Chain A
Amino acid sequence: MRLPKFEYFEPETLEEALRLLAEWRERVCVLAGGTDVLVKMRNGRLKPGAVIALERISSLNGIGFDLRKGLTIGAGAKLSDVTSHPDILRYYPAIARAARVMANVQVRNMGTIGGNLCNAAPSAENAPPLMALGAVVTAASLEEERRITLDDFFRGPGLTAMKPEEIMTSIFVPTPPANSGASYQRISARCGVDIAAVSVGAMIMIEDTVCREVRIALGAVAPVPMRALSAEAFLKEKVWSEEFLREAARISADESRPISDVRASLEFRKQMVAVMTQRALEEAYGRAIKR
């Protein structure tokens, strides 16, 4: 369909971008890789008066790692950069995996991690592992810079805690604690180019076979990516065992709230939440006891 008429800006600094954003308010749309925005504009679901492209703002694109603090991914970092960054591969394999299994080469070369989060699809691939690892995003406006935990970030399909005048600048992920491991698991009907029907991110910290910390995040099974808090509470402070693992998986299926749609039925999704949770916890556990 015809792209509606719109103004197009390519600011080179964040400040300039924020000023434009404040100027145009609701009628503006931020463009990162455009792999969600342009699809929506083409089929008429999005008709902005102005588009602000972020690509030239180099301060948004970096990836930095400090072993004592953690990982900072620029909101504008390409998915392909996330999947190939040596520190991410080494310390955050679950994050690398989520960005690697999503979409296809072309989309990963265009699309950004910030765009994936800001688009706020229930199935947003990067959300579960980032939530499981306790990620915090930074949003900037002309007035302030604030930090929002990813747990508080998603408000509904396509809705986030960010204000219209804000731009996401970065995503911070603390250094995983010692004796911890994380995993990302997803299910879809085909190997390549597929949206996950169910996805799970999990992080677990083990001390003397006891689960001291557990975080489980579920994707595509509720209006927003969600934490499986009951399953986490169940497993916390328990001695790791097959039986508890299965029970935790069952509980997380119970607390998921999927729908039936063209990709999968409600019943299948619930079943898969259990399977994917179990596999994610198993892999996370395996990584935890290795470290």
Chain B
Amino acid sequence: MESRFKIVGQDVPRTDAEVKARGKALYTDDMKLPGMLHGQILRSPLAHARIKHIDTRRALGLPGVKAVITGQDTPKIKYGNWRLFPDTQDEYPLAVDKVRFIGDEVAAVAAIDRDTAEEAMELIEVEYEELPAVFDVDLSIKPGAPVIHDYCPTNISVNRKIKYGDVEKGFAESDYVREDIFNTHSVSHAYLEPCSALAQVDLDGRITLWTSTQVPYIVQCLLASTLNMRENDIRVIKPFVGGGFGGKMELRAWEFCAAFLARQTGCPVKFTLTREEEFITGRRRHPMKIYSKVGFRKDGTLVAKDLKIQLDGGAYNAMGPTATFLCGNFGAMLYRYPNYRFHGEHIYTNKPPASAMRGFGAPQSLYATEIQMNMAAEELGIDPIDLRLKNAQVSGDEIPDVATISSSGFIDCIKAVAEMSDWKEKRKSLPAGRGIGIGCYSFISGGVFNWFNTQYPFSAAEVRVFSDGTAHLLTMASDIGQGSDTVLKQILAEELGLKMGDIRMTSADTSMTPQADLGSWGSRVTLMAGNAVIDAAKKIKEPLFGAVSARFNLNVIHDIECVNGRVQSKSRPDYGLTFGEAVAMVQKANRGEPLVARGSYTPRGKGLVTPAFGFGAQVAEVDVDKETGLVEVKHMWTAHDCGTVINPRSVEGQLAGSIQMGLGYALSEQFVMDGGKTLNTNFVDYKMPTASDMPPSELFHVETYEPEGPMGAKEAGEGLASPTAPAISDAVYHATGYRCMDLPITPEKILRNLKKNK
């Protein structure tokens, strides 16, 4: 079939590829401004303590130190991403009364260079009164446990319940019911670019902040509120960003400190975290304790599911509330559950805060879903593939209170991946030590729930067109390495019939690009910002079509299109103008006014969760060394449905990155903790897989057309983060008989289990 698109769906090279490959891309830490000072943050060495006194005099006396601040110097305004529920905003930029985890920010220094700032750290004297700390969710919710935030005496900061159908009745009607408990662990985003922020104050006292963030708009708003300034007095610019994966989607202490210290000293101030700081104090994926009970009929039809999840949130809410809500939704996605109940609790502990991380709760909750499906399949005597086919969500399915699934290629994904991997044969005939396993996913294409309480559209775009045949696209959408700049350009080029090179792009600058964009998370950008671009492009096309129609005196029934740099009648292409000529005509007609249009997208009438769902299935084949317990992943097969594939290579990149992260999540990555202290704080001991660990992999796109998406597209970024761990885990079970109920799958666990089975 010939594609209906010219640029969408093509292997268009990423606009940032060359500059990154050449090492010329400028990241925040590459920037230097005249007179710039270097900042450093003093962090708590204790997991829970009251701050009794801070003496900064010696640090201030050190030559080269320009300013030292503590929480007492700041406006002491709490912040958090859930502006809609101010109670949940539980964090001060610098600790005011208490520290709640090892690494909590206590003071900040600005000095003439980094070394001096570091030296000053050692001269700040903090007197703490140590408090009992708690590192485990079970202990944290026990009566009498240390209270971590005064506003929340139970330590349970979010309680989320969902219910539809009648779960008890469902279980009573089931032929087969099983209950399991799964535990998942914490891992690091481990983005290659550590966080960095540079602030400058202009003559009017307004602040410009360059920062490595996924959410310039959120940083702008929360920085304004914590500094007690007006939003419009803060300008946030996102330079190149070396990955975020959810770890850069909040205002962070160093962004505040850079701005505050820049205002106080009158000099630009930059903070850049070290990798050790990232590992010790950076956000991380939520560990979860997942209780899941499912009921089936004999033939494998799902009848009911009861899901309880406790999220170990660490010391602050961060994006935990959203993860808690989403876990409840992920629990009801992927398969049809006529009766469903969910109870999620977000629990404080004195550990570094967990937050959003690629998949936003799905890798954890789907690990339970998928492993449990396989366990049930075995006991029901049904092939895991067939059990999934029987229960898979299809287009038109309704998830009560959530949404109607407007497009689902899930069944085709399962079938495709089974065929690619030769599933039926391998599941029967692989030798001992070899195994094959499956994991599937469904994911949201952006969120509907307006927890940030923005008064703006969720995404916006401005398009300016010129008589030289070029266009300028402005959007606050943030390319953090996922490639949104390229994809949004592709969408605009397609709509206007231009080439990629005809489009100038300005993105992610809160004072120059149209309000607003909620940021790059939740796999929202392609769908939401893409729709905003199309909306703007349509408004550009209207007057262009009018100009052509008038110029050639076209009958009103003529269909006009923008194609190949021209604006022309579809049936009579000779009735047309070049794009630039058409723009010039519109300008003339408007006495010189430039042709500019604004577009926006906000999901409406799309339920409470997401406008569209991505789906996919993945099979892993592994080889387990029965003497060492080491798992080698030999091959991965993936079939997925992201609607229209806008940029195939970007999607392949997302897949490769997801497999790499999934591999680490399943097999090698974990924080080694001693109470609240992180022990493995470098990449030698934090075992992120390397290029040589990557298995060969094959990908199949199941093409669907998502009516709500731009040109039929939906998410391709985060859903893929979920299937890898369950697929590998199931393959390890197939190879060895070891069923992993608590991630990660370590050699020691495999060996212990092999011994037991002997």
Q: Which residues of A contact B (CB under 8 A)?
A: 1-2, 187, 189-195, 262-265, 267-268, 271-272, 275
Q: Name which residue of chain A comes closest to B667, CB basis.
A: A189
Besides A1-B115, A191-B692, 19 more A-B contacts (Cβ < 8 Å) are A1-B118, A2-B115, A2-B118, A187-B628, A189-B687, A189-B747, A190-B668, A190-B687, A190-B690, A190-B693, A192-B691, A192-B692, A192-B693, A193-B683, A194-B684, A268-B747, A268-B748, A275-B627, A275-B628
B679 contacts the other chain (Cβ, under 8 Å)?
A: yes
Q: How far, in angstroms, from A194 to B747 measured CA to CA in the complex?
A: 16
- If A193-B683, A194-B684 touch, does A262 touch B672 (CB 8 Å cutoff)? yes
Contact with A along B683-699 (1 / 0, CB 8 A): 11101111111000000
Task: Determine whether the beta carbon of A268 is less than 8 Å from that of B679.
Answer: no
Task: Determine whether the beta carbon of A195 is less than 8 Å from that of B684.
Answer: yes
Q: How far, in angstroms, from A191 to B667 measured CA to CA in the complex?
A: 12
B741 contacts the other chain (Cβ, under 8 Å)?
A: no
The distance from the CB of A102 to the nearest CB of chain B, in whole angstroms, is 11
Q: Name which residue of chain A comes closest to B747, CB basis.
A: A268
Q: How far, in angstroms, from A268 to B680 measured CA to CA in the complex?
A: 18
| Complex interface: chain B residues within 8 A of A191 (CB) | 689-690, 692-693
Task: Determine whether the beta carbon of B115 is less than 8 Å from that of A262.
Answer: no
Contact with A along B621-663 (1 / 0, CB 8 A): 0000001101000000000000000000000000000000000
Task: Determine whether the beta carbon of A187 is less than 8 Å from that of B630.
Answer: yes
- Which of B667, B683, B685 interacts with A263 by CB under 8 Å? B685
- The number of residue pairs between A and B whose CB atoms lie closer than 8 Å in the complex comes to 49
| Complex interface: chain B residues within 8 A of A271 (CB) | 751
- Size category of the B interface is 20 to 34
Task: Determine whether the beta carbon of B684 is less than 8 Å from that of A189.
Answer: no
Task: Determine whether the beta carbon of B685 is less than 8 Å from that of A193.
Answer: no
Q: How far, in angstroms, from A250 to B698 measured CA to CA in the complex?
A: 42
- Which of A2, A192, A195, A272 interacts with B690 by CB under 8 Å? A192
Q: Name which residue of chain A comes closest to B117, CB basis.
A: A2
The distance from the CB of A195 to the nearest CB of chain B, in whole angstroms, is 6
B168 contacts the other chain (Cβ, under 8 Å)?
A: no
Task: Determine whether the beta carbon of A262 is less than 8 Å from that of B692.
Answer: no
Could you name 17 residue pairs across A and B whose Cβ atoms are closer than 8 Å?
A: A2-B118, A187-B630, A190-B687, A190-B689, A191-B689, A192-B692, A192-B693, A193-B683, A193-B684, A193-B690, A262-B672, A262-B680, A262-B685, A268-B747, A268-B751, A275-B627, A275-B628
| Complex interface: chain B residues within 8 A of A190 (CB) | 668, 687-690, 693
Q: How far, in angstroms, from A192 to B694 measured CA to CA in the complex?
A: 11
The distance from the CB of B686 to the nearest CB of chain A, in whole angstroms, is 9
Q: How far, in angstroms, from A268 to B687 measured CA to CA in the complex?
A: 17
Task: Determine whether the beta carbon of B119 is less than 8 Å from that of A2.
Answer: yes
Q: How far, in angstroms, from A195 to B684 measured CA to CA in the complex?
A: 7
Q: How far, in angstroms, from A1 to B40 measured CA to CA in the complex?
A: 11
- If A190-B689, A191-B690, A191-B692 touch, does A272 touch B118 (CB 8 Å cutoff)? no
The distance from the CB of B185 to the nearest CB of chain A, in whole angstroms, is 15
| Complex interface: chain A residues within 8 A of B748 (CB) | 264-265, 267-268
Q: How far, in angstroms, from A267 to B684 measured CA to CA in the complex?
A: 22
Q: How far, in angstroms, from A2 to B680 measured CA to CA in the complex?
A: 22
Q: How far, in angstroms, from A265 to B752 measured CA to CA in the complex?
A: 13
The distance from the CB of B706 to the nearest CB of chain A, in whole angstroms, is 38
- If A2-B119, A194-B687 touch, does A262 touch B693 (CB 8 Å cutoff)? no
Q: How far, in angstroms, from A1 to B748 measured CA to CA in the complex?
A: 36
| Complex interface: chain A residues within 8 A of B668 (CB) | 189-190
Q: Find the residue from A189, A194, A272 having the highest chain B CB count within 10 A.
A: A189
Q: How far, in angstroms, from A271 to B119 measured CA to CA in the complex?
A: 45
Q: How far, in angstroms, from A2 to B115 measured CA to CA in the complex?
A: 5
CB contacts under 8 Å to A, within B676-725, are: 679-680, 683-685, 687-693
The distance from the CB of B671 to the nearest CB of chain A, in whole angstroms, is 10
The distance from the CB of B689 to the nearest CB of chain A, in whole angstroms, is 6
Q: How far, in angstroms, from A171 to B83 measured CA to CA in the complex?
A: 66
Q: How far, in angstroms, from A12 to B276 measured CA to CA in the complex?
A: 37
